[in-house]
Amino acid sequence: MSPRTYLAATARILAQLRADRRTVALIVAVPSLLLTLLYLVYSGSPGADLLFNRVAVAMMAILPMTVLFLVTSVAMLRERVSGTLERLWTTPTHRADVLFGYATAFVATALVQSLVLCAVAGWGLDVTVEAGWGWVLLLALVTGFVGVALGLLVSAFARSEFQAVQFMPVVIAPQLFLCGLLVPREDMPRLLEAIGDALPMSWAVDAVTEAATSTEVSVDYASRLGLLLAFGLAALTVAALTVPRRTR
Average pLDDT over residues 86-113: 80
Residue 222 is predicted with a pLDDT of 95
Residues 6+ apart with CB under 8 A from 232: 142, 145, 146, 148, 149, 200
Average pLDDT over residues 227-239: 93
| Exposed/middle/buried for residue 18 (C-beta within 10 Å: 0-12, 13-18, 19+) | exposed
Q: How far is Cα 35 from Cα 38, in angstroms, rounded to an integer? A: 5
In-domain check, residue 247: no
Q: How far is Cα 185 from Cα 196, in angstroms, rounded to an integer? A: 7
Give me the chain's average pLDDT, please: 87
In-domain check, residue 248: no
In-domain check, residue 85: yes
| CA-based nearest residue to 109, from 232, 218, 14 | 14
In this structure, of 83-87, 175-179, 224-228, the range with the lowest mean pLDDT score is: 83-87
Q: How far is Cα 206 from Cα 119, in angstroms, rounded to an integer? A: 21
Q: Which stretches does DSSP call E strand in 156-214? A: none
What 8-state DSSP symbol labels residue 186? G
| CA-based nearest residue to 113, from 59, 40, 39 | 59
In-domain check, residue 12: yes
Q: Exposure string (b/e) for 50-67, b if CB count within 10 Å is 16 or more?
A: eebbebbbbbbbbbbbbb
Residue 59 is predicted with a pLDDT of 94
Residue 14 is predicted with a pLDDT of 87
Cα dihedral across residues 175, 215, 34, 232: positive or negative: negative
Q: Please give the residue range of the domain that contains residue 19.
A: 3-242
In-domain check, residue 175: yes
* Tens digit of each residue's pLDDT (9 = 90 or more) over 8-64: 878 888 888 888 888 888 899 999 999 999 999 888 777 778 889 999 999 999 999
Does residue 72 carry a pLDDT above 70? yes
In-domain check, residue 20: yes
Q: How far is Cα 196 from Cα 152, in angstroms, rounded to an integer? A: 23
Contact 62, 179 (CB under 8 A): yes
Q: How far is Cα 225 from Cα 208, in angstroms, rounded to an integer? A: 10
No. of H helices and E strands in the chain?
A: 13, 0
Query: How many CB atoms sit inside 10 A of residue 237's CB?
Result: 15
Higher pLDDT, 110 or 1: 110
pLDDT band of 112, cuts 50, 70, 90 = very high
How many structural domains are present in the chain?
1
